[in-house]
Structure 1
Amino acid sequence: MTTRKSRKRILCTVLVLSLTTTFGWARPALSKGKVAGWEQKQKKVGSPPRPVEVEATAEILARALRGVAVRRPDVPSESRLTKLLEKRVRSRVNPHGVVKCLSVESTWAVHARAGARTPTFVDLSLAEKPTLLRGGSDPAQAVLRFLDEHKQLFQLRSAADELKLDRDLRDALGFRHLVFRQRVRGLPVWGGELTAHLDPEGRLYCVTGNYLATLSGLTLEEPVLSRDEAVRVAVSDLGRIQQVRALGPEARRLLRYDGPRAELTIWRRSPEAPPRVVWHVQIRPNLVDNWYYFVDAASGEILEKYNNTQSDGPTTGTGTDLNGVSRQLHVYQQGSDYYLIDASRPIWQAGQTEPIRDPKGALVTADVRNHDLEANTTLYHVVSPNNTWSDPVAVSAHYNMGAVFEYYYNKFGRKGIDGKGNTIFSIIHVTKDGRSLENAFWNGAAMCYGDGGQSLKPLAGGLDVAAHEMTHGVIQRTVNLEYKFQS
């Protein structure tokens, strides 16, 4: 007769063998001399975390589920223009970051994003005298003249050549907002806007903007890639992600869309990145999705892509994993941000009030940003502003977690690790003693992945590693074998 412990071992063996044979998982390719076997890897790297570490990290996860520790990454705060303005505006900066513009004998508060050459917010309301615009009855021309008078501050060689009035808005209180779009040598600058705000008396009290300083080194030659070629590149890529259908006449009228569009544009990935000449391609594959592609006009490389359909809730995104494979990811959108929270599974609890701070029934990928898992470690949500995912470790961990969940659910009807549909966590970029961890482990509450090192590649890249770690959790929540001897 078999003992109770023997039956537990048999169940464990059947689960692991069933996973391996049914899914056909293969360990990620390792370069010559790499350690291939999991047991060899454990012997080489060391023993699993001690129980005290498990308890500590379990408490971290408990706090995370209550929305205490998990938070979105810090958004870079706007910083003051200091030495740059001091040199270019011939101004002096006081300790509070207020710029004294000597040319107009006024005190202005000037803000700019870190690394940017142009101000994002200029508050003129602090001026000792109101800023009156000179230019007759046309306020738009008066604003352009004002910008030219202070070109060292606004970093525009000729405002009239680079800014074109796009919208003239008036609100219920009589305030006026003149929105200018930026164009450089005839090409629109993606997202390039400057807005002048006037009070009811026509006095300028504020200037806001997100635009490029005058470009002196950008070469605007005839694009190597034609419009049609750029469209073909984008449509071909999107076809690998989802089906692209030709819309019927009613849908075309509703969306005012006659097919993929492409416009030559000046674009930059971030405020600090150099500008590029690209084709901005828009594709509507159906009535829901609205894809934007940015294709380099010289090389044909896809520099960025994202689905511009805006709605809170579950959606899909794309990213390239550690094995170089483009993956469709189940993510969650809230406002303009996208989170690696998979709310597409049958365990997701509808009608939640705090799906980001306290997700229920989700698959969540969190990041410790190259820190050890300790009692005071903070977990961060993995967030994208455009639903394009550039961290291959995050892409692999999130995709593989979903694949293993699907296996357990479709094969055994199991609702997650505990069988009760509670949230599942993967934690990436885990270190040990401040160094890259060549291991992965189940800590009693989450699957944790190190980034490898001399012997191993990042562990999140292996689908079999994700299956191994999740199965540790399943065993814990079912037969609860002791982690010693042969169990």
Structure 2
Amino acid sequence: MSAISGAVALSGVAALVVSAVPAGAAAPPPPSPGEVVPGQRTATPALVRGIRERAPDAEGAAAAARAHLDDKRERYRIEHAERDLVPLATTASAGRETVRLEQRHRGVPVLGGQYIVRMEHEGGERIVTGTSGRYFTGLSTSTTAEVGEELAVERAVDGVLDDLAGQHLSEAPREGEEEAPLRGTARGLVVLPMGTGVLTQHVTVRGTAPATGEPVLREVYVDARAGYPVLTHSGIKTFDAPDPATGGPAADAAGRRAGAAGDEKGSGVRLDGTPVPLDVFRDGDGGPYLLRDRTRIPDEYGARALTTWDARGRDVGEVGGKWPEDIGQFASPTPGFGADATEAGAVDAHWATARVYDYFRDVHGRDSLDGRGMGIDSLVGVTEFQSPYANAFWDGRKAVYGGGDQEYRPFSAALDVVGHELTHGVIEHSADLVYAGQSGALNEAIADYFGNAVEAHVHGTPVTDPDSGLLGERLCRTKGPRECALRDLSDGRTTTGSFLGLDFANDNGGVHLNSTIFGGALWDAREELGADLTDRIVYKALTEYLTPLDGFTEGRAAVLAAAKDLGVTGDSLKALRGAFTAHGIVPGWEKALGIDSKPLFGRINTTRTGLGAGGGWWAASRSNEDGSEPYSVWAGRADGRGRPQLMSPNDGRYHTNPATDGRTVVWQAHGPGGVELLARPLTGGVVRTLWSGRSGGSVSGVDGDVVTFGYANHGGRSAVAYLSLKDPANIERIGGGTYHRAYSPSVSDGRVAYREWRRVALGARAVYEWRIVVVDVATGESTVVQEYPHTARLGPTAVNGTHVFWLVDEDSTDGATALRRATLAGSEAVDLLPGRGPDARYAYDLTVSEDSATVLSYLPDAPLGNGTSPKLHQFEAAGIPGAPGTYKGRVSCNRGAQTHPAAVGSGQVVWLDSTTGTTDVVTRPRPAGRCG
């Protein structure tokens, strides 16, 4: 992994944790009392403990903390703490203070830059006992933006749309509507700590995913000089893998009429049949009783409360990342809430939220999720497209619980699920672990840990109970606990045996898939050290040591340091270390992950860009080692001989999505003025500009003199184009209109294939259809290969010298796709991969050579694991469906994500592989076949 060690292990973002340091700056700090752990590629130590130094006199804890850092500048190497560190939060308990400071570079926030100072009061003075965190000393980037907020928002929304479309076949656009049900909000400048720093515009993108209807809440960081999105992560934390304009719950009128209403004791029955007391609120004399608990959070006006809202019938897209209009609190004419509230999961949600609040208050002394008495809102009964929604999530402002389905009860029915979601709120207001890659898996692991800890605390479950590590085991109507559980902290997973390196499109970089590796270590420690001590250790690590970009190794160090602070020594400390070692969480664990493919180009440190291949060559985009440079395009031989050569200029733009036929490389260059299509011969020569526009899709192919590519007009309407390398001004455009759009072009042997959506008839109701089309470039003749109703979903096309291939889901019911092949004239259509039956797969990407067709597929509704993450499968291009040898098996048995395949020739494919936690260009000359 890169030096921010795995915090954000996404394609292109692993380098976020690398902070380059000027020559000589990374020298170890001078000796000091206690333990000093050097930072990775920064001169500031990651941990200082075992000291007792009087803090300088100052007004308040934060000022004292910064004065200490300035006073010990030679140790901490922070040039000006008072200027460059801004107080973020201070927590105080039992004579101890923890100050969390946020780094600024020339006044601009630094993502993940947090430093923590721990102090005690002694004899009327503050004594510094330790520090930890990440302060990036190598930053020198300018903070003058060349890309404004308006353009950054546009590029961020376009980027999220591209990401969302990546794993789904295209559905028909809605007539008269734009294809982008997303909106972006500018959040200001942020420096990403990559190398000397990357200045970005931070944009929050909200809305609904076009293909799935799932809520979208993405934090996007757009390079403020080139306008290219360089980092994206989700703001929605799900259990299983309010807008200012509409107001929020805190201002609810009922909660403010304290004089005309009162707090009451109510009751209800949980979904498991258990009667429970409820703290409720009566809305005025003779008014209804509401699931609103004002008794726990001191507030003169009663606005901050634990409130349960009736979201039955509300779609998940209506509530994720925003506050839905006209939503009401659960109400009852009597203080006894009846079957209606029980079946909706409202009783469970209200009761469980109070239990979680009490746990953090009574055990850890925490004043609500933020430590400052924030109200907690729970929405229950959410659906998905008016169908059951079996999941739950925290979106940064509230907990949302699906209404369940025939097997799963409403997700609020499990106390560990409620504890998990609300712990995300605690994490957000302490370490704020970035919800992607290893830091996201660490986020999930801690949420799992405290979710189960709350449940064990309330129910009195001993640490020795073999089912104590199960999560969600009480959700099912018919299944037993082990069959029902969605995760198990006692599953024994390890880094070397189980870690899955994934890109962002897959489980946010493995936040759920990899979480039980770290969560399991914590749960094992709980059994060894006991519940009370381990809970205190993990809470202290979360609130006093961890910072946003920490991964597994940093998490281990934080837990061990917290344990030492609590006086853990000897056999107990050895047992704690042993728990991490048993799960493979030791420094340098990433180096032990093996692959069966041949690396061609390592650590590309890019995002949202694919590969090209052909004629024995590959082409790929790459940043520098720390990910701070805009991307360049490189090309190399597919047999691994020779050295890769740089094709693109280093001009500050992002050069992406290359294609090659072994003679020419074609790619896109993204800058503040738009996108250009560039070309250069592999033998060298000048870089030529072939086309320019507002935005571009991926470069789909080059073959001889013909280049084809996709793009979108200002309205977001998709089009394809092809042109001649000799005469690029002679360009043919297809689609791009309200009633005619085109997608996914491919090229081979003088023919361009694409899919189009168009209106074919008017009347009382217009008729639309999909088509697969092949164009003979020399003659201009178009052949409609197949037609489909607008209800079908179509994926990419690919073409070779004899056939055209495409992906299609004709019934749009289960998401399974067929790999269909037809002659160039449109005859003899057959399915190499069936769209139904036991062999059906969920393919979403495609590449072909003259001999082989390779698809990229995953299993969206299966349990998360190696077999369900994106994998490459290969077929004989001219094979007979169902015949032996037509399906050639898995291309590789690597257990991480395999994405962006490109056929070199025969059976050889290159792809981006994330198995080791970094993303590399790799290849195999032939399929691996069957994987165990």
TM-score per shorter chain, which class? 0.3 to 0.5
Say which structure, 1 or 2, has more relative contact order (CA 8 Å, 6+ apart).
Answer: 1
Whichever structure has more helix as a proportion of its residues is 1
TM-score, normalised relative to structure 2: 0.27
TM-score by length of 1: 0.48
User: Could you say which structure has the higher strand fraction?
Assistant: 2
